[in-house]
Amino acid sequence: MVRAPGTAWCLALLPVTWVAFDALAFEMFGASDAERAALLFATLTNWVVVGVDSAALRRAGVRVSAWWGILLLPIYVILRARRADRSPIVPAAFFALAVAYLFFGDLALDGIDQL
């Protein structure tokens, strides 16, 4: 069992940052460019977290290519849990938060827009 809980939980909580980036981009760039700015911020953050997590796993002796996370983040989350012999709580948290973001992300932005 590999110990890298900090990076694992950062990875699991990435969908929370997506909501924050949506709100930040909306406030900074307005409605017209907010979607592109939020996508850029989220993508760069995802890449950094995946890179740091992959490096931490590599130091612990587990090989999970960061390219999976750069290209297909859900696949990386699953591979990471399997290869590191970790419990499925991190992928479950990631997918639950991602689904919540997909369903409720627009509602949060509508609430911000009305303020």
The predicted pLDDT at position 3 comes to 59
The helix (H) or strand (E) run that includes residue 41 is helix 14-59
pLDDT band at 19 (very low <50, low <70, confident <90, very high): confident
Query: Is residue 84 exposed (0-12), middle (13-18) or buried (19+ Cβ within 10 Å)?
Result: buried
Instruction: Give helix 89-114 / helix 73-83 axis angle, nearest 10°.
Output: 150
How confident is the model over 54-111, as pLDDT tens digits?
998 888 888 989 999 889 999 999 999 998 877 789 899 999 999 998 888 766 666 6
The predicted pLDDT at position 99 comes to 92
Tokens at residue 72, please? 């297909």
CA distance 10 to 102: 19
Q: Taking the model in full, what pTM does it have?
A: 0.82
Q: Where are the domains of the chain?
A: 5-114
